[in-house]
Amino acid sequence: MKVHIGLDDTDSPRGGCTTYLGALLVERLLAMGTEFIDYPNLIRLNPNAPWKTRGNGAVCLRVRCPPEALEKVEEVIFETLEENSDLTCKNTNPGAVIHVGDVPPEVRKFARRAITGLVELEEAIALIRRFGDSALGLKEGRGLIGALAAIGEVLDGDHTYELLAYRTPENRGKRRRVDADSVFRMDDATRPLTFNNVDPQTRRVLITPRGPDPVLLGIRGETPEAVYEAFQMLIVEEPIERWVIYRTNQGTDAHLANVSRIADLRPHYPAIIEGTVLEEPRTIQGGHVILRVGDGSGEVDCAAYEPTGDFRRVVRSLVPGDVVRVYGGVRLRGEGHGVTLNMEKLEVLHLAPKVVYENPLCPRCGRRMESMGRGQGYRCRRCGLRRRDAGKREVVLKREVREGLYLPPPRAQRHLTKPLQRYGRENRGFNGCLIDRWHYP
């Protein structure tokens, strides 16, 4: 029988990682004789959810096992969840869901809404009961939402892969020892089949996180072969406890959905809007750039924050009348103060002419004339010529920006943001075949 095992919300800011729990279970389930029918799935849910811990990622393991083994599988899942969850953290509320058979359409729809918006715990519990799933929710059990959503997102559309390697316990919380030069060599050799390994502007390595979690490194790419080969190129100067290749919705823009009117924007939801630039962009304290966009139904401030680097230069170059498409997450600014759309990417659809008005040139000596006052004409300081019939001339300036799609640098991109290099490389479907080396041990 097919068994889908969803897991979520086991980590905390102090450490832990739901993908590490998934890696542990890979070893334990294989030792029991189960057969994996897919790579472990890493499903990123709505990155704007107010209760997320870090990347809002849930995990699903899809296996085949004999009916008589199901009870033992459930026991191993629930024991591992309890042993590896940070239950002392106030906001950690782990959940595990086990579904037998094909994934129902209702659960797929639930997953889609958990990725593109917000769903309630009560709805998750109702679906779990409706389909007779086994489940364990610890403390408030909010992790049941992500666990069920991970089951429902079967990744039959675009997807990518990530090889995640984990540290031995004694090294967690210490500086990660991965040779930076080897990362840059790997990136040069494997790009574009891997992506977001480094930030080219700052020369910062991006495959190693900075927190106290057990993840040593993560390599993202288009195929399992690509991330495995890239992993082999690295010089790692500390022991690796285990590693596993996940199939994932990262780098696919799976969270973004079109909103037909700016007036319909909702706090904490991802959105894509189209509108017209209403005023000159303004830079506020901290170096953040604010772009005011409207569409007739309403107006909204779109923010490019300081960490987005040169992306802000593109935003600053826009002028009133430009037509843009903005991708991002909606943030509530405070009660009664409306919302802000935090920009993840920007598409310039149409450029308005950028016009300035200049004083006329003196027809006698060629020097620019100066105004003598409202309605009194112009005079030339050099030769003294006066002209009451002269007026300012319109000059159309060359634009610094072109129509097209713009993204922040890799260091400022979210897990789900689709990099430019992935356009035209979308994956479709999964044939059920796993490569020989997809996990260790």
pLDDT of 335-367, one tens digit each? 666 899 999 999 999 999 998 888 899 988 889
Residue 91 has pLDDT above 90, yes or no: no
pLDDT at residue number 86: 84
Judge residue 427's burial from the number of C-beta atoms within 10 Å of its C-beta, 0-12 exposed, 13-18 middle, 19 or more buried: middle
What is the per-residue pLDDT for 276? 98
Q: How far is CA 11 from CA 14, 339, 400, 428, in A?
A: 8, 29, 45, 31
180 C-beta neighbours (distance < 10 Å), count: 13
For the domain made up of 2-156, give the CATH fold: Alpha-Beta Plaits (3.30.70)
The residues facing 242 across adjacent strands are 166
- How far, in Å, CA of 95 to CA of 81, rounded? 8
Predicted pLDDT of residue 206: 98
Residue pointed to by tokens 């304290």? 285
Q: Which helix (H) or strand (E) holds 387?
A: strand 386-387
Average pLDDT over residues 243-266: 97
User: Domain residues of the chain, as ranges?
Assistant: 2-156, 160-253, 262-351+399-421, 354-397
Whether 47 and 255 have beta carbons less than 8 Å apart is answered as yes
Q: Does domain 262-351+399-421 have CATH number 2.40.50.1010?
A: yes
The per-residue pLDDT for 429 is: 85
The CA R_g of the chain, rounded to the nearest whole Å, is 27
Tell me the per-residue pLDDT of 288-310, one tens digit each, with 9 for 90 and over: 999 999 999 999 999 999 999 99
Q: How confident is the model at residue 177 (pLDDT cuts 50, 70, 90)?
A: very high
272 vs 249: CA distance, rounded Å: 18
pLDDT higher than 90, residue 245 = yes
The rounded mean pLDDT for the chain is 95
Q: What is the pLDDT of residues 125-172, one digit of tens each?
A: 999 999 999 999 999 999 999 999 999 999 999 999 999 999 999 999
Q: Which of 98, 201, 132 is nearest to 407 (CA)?
A: 201
- pLDDT tens digits for range 11-36: 887 778 999 999 999 999 999 999 99
Looking at CATH, the fold of the domain delimited by 160-253 is given as Glycinamide Ribonucleotide Synthetase; Chain A, domain 4 (3.90.600)
- Rounded to the nearest 10 degrees, the angle between the axes of helix 180-190 and helix 224-232 is 140
Question: Which has the closest alpha carbon to 412: 114, 200, 159?
Answer: 200
* pLDDT tens digits along 46-76: 999 987 767 799 999 999 999 999 999 999 9
Identify the CA nearest to 57 among candidates 247, 314, 240. Answer: 247
Residue 9 binned pLDDT confidence (cut-offs 50, 70, 90): very high
Q: What is the pLDDT of residue 334?
A: 66
| Residue 441: pLDDT over 80 | yes
